[in-house]
Amino acid sequence: MADGYAAALMDTGSFCRSRALRDQWYVVADASDIASSPVGVTLLGDRYVVWRGNDGELAAAADRCPHREAPLSLGHVRDGCLVCPYHAWAFASDGGCVDVPSSGPGASISAAANLDVLLVRELYGLVWLCVGTPVGEPPRIAQDADPAFRRLTAGMETWSASATRMADNFCDVAHFPYVHAGTIGPDTDPVVAPISVVALDADFTGYEYTVEVHDEHGNDVRQRMSTAFHLPFIVRSDTFYESGPRAGHDRVLLLCTTPVDDVTSLFTFVVWRNHDHEVPAEDVLAFDRAIGAEDRRMLERIAGVLPLDASSTVSVRSDRLSVEWRRRFSALVVS
């Protein structure tokens, strides 16, 4: 760790300038958002363009044409090539510049005109982007390969909230009776049992617990759950229904937060469940959307970045997972 660098990041409270965060994977779009047109996304304060090449495979690059810096995301895709809106230079999905119309057909094109393409993956119905050198993979969800499970994606939202506050919130259950009074919360026990944080698998760190909640039909349901994080901002919540209409079934909820900048974030979630496959997708997603809207309402009222120095805020027993997330996130940011 470079001490000056670490101190500067901590002083400014701007985690987006962290070099280490560039080496992580982020969800920047729903896979269905990237169709026949290029899409511009902002990640860690910088603009990128994502498009689909001829074979349907995703491609991504900085949203800047090497000619005169026009935003490539305002262009179009022709025969799998990204075409700049300004002078119509065309770029193949490997970044190679394949057409400079003003030079005439067959003219040689300098390698300097090529785009540096970035790593982009399509996984769980989501588009994952890494703008640096990835130090790992997106988190693995074993249920995705299990045909008993149906997968549903919610689509992207933009929240005026810091990704740091969102990850902290998604690791926290103590707010359920208050923030989620309109959904799962009304009869949730406000006392949170002691939390013991462990590695739940190779990709997630979290804890297991049991709750009594209301489901979307108002049934009292006993659920065995786990909540866990995968740095930097992915949180997973697994549910095994011990009682109620879904007794014996499972559900996985993946909460994906992506920093657009320090205080603006993309949010989406994915649900896998091995029950009630006949229920329309929108009906399945509606309850989780309502829960997300409750979190959003609270978090958009809290300004700025969550202080990465843990001593700036007071934490209690129920914050154990959030505090562990923050400790590891802070170490990552300055690494």
89 binds ligand FES (CB under 6 A): yes
Q: How far apart (Å, rounded) are the C-alpha atoms in residues 213 and 176?
A: 10
CB of 72 to ligand FES, least distance (A): 7
DSSP 63: S
The listed partner (ligand FES, Fe ion, none) that binds 295, CB under 5 to 8 Å by sort, is Fe ion
Measured from each CB, the residue nearest to Fe ion is 295
The listed partner (Fe ion, ligand FES, none) that binds 65, CB under 5 to 8 Å by sort, is ligand FES
Which member of 87, 140, 297, 317 binds ligand FES (CB under 6 A)? 87
| Residue number with CB closer to Fe ion (16 or 255) | 255
CB of 115 to ligand FES, least distance (A): 11
Locate 126 and state its tokens. Answer: 């989501």
In this structure, the chain runs to a length of 335
- Which class for 252: exposed (0-12), middle (13-18), buried (19 or more C-beta within 10 A)? buried
The listed partner (ligand FES, Fe ion, none) that binds 233, CB under 5 to 8 Å by sort, is none
86 binds ligand FES (CB under 6 A): yes
Q: How far apart (Å, rounded) are the C-alpha atoms in residues 108 and 100?
A: 9
- 1: Cβ–Cβ under 8 A, 6 or more apart, which residues? 334, 335
| Residue number with CB closer to Fe ion (18 or 169) | 169
What would you measure as the largest C-alpha separation in the chain, in angstroms?
A: 72
295 binds Fe ion (CB under 5 A): yes
CB of 122 to Fe ion, least distance (A): 28
DSSP 142: G
Asked if 73 and 38 touch (Cβ cutoff 8 Å), the reply is yes
| Residue number with CB closer to ligand FES (83 or 260) | 83
47 binds ligand FES (CB under 6 A): no
**Run of H or E including 293:** helix 281-299
Asked if 180 and 297 touch (Cβ cutoff 8 Å), the reply is no
The listed partner (Fe ion, ligand FES, none) that binds 86, CB under 5 to 8 Å by sort, is ligand FES
Which member of 47, 67, 275, 328 binds ligand FES (CB under 6 A)? 67
Other beta carbons within 10 Å of 4: 8
Total binding residues toward ligand FES, as defined by CB under 6 A: 8
Side-chain half-sphere exposure of 43, counting CA atoms within 13 A: 31
Q: How far apart (Å, rounded) are the C-alpha atoms in residues 151 and 251?
A: 10
CB of 83 to ligand FES, least distance (A): 9
CB of 89 to ligand FES, least distance (A): 4
CB of 50 to ligand FES, least distance (A): 17
What residues line the site for ligand FES (CB under 6 A)? 65, 67-68, 70, 84, 86-87, 89
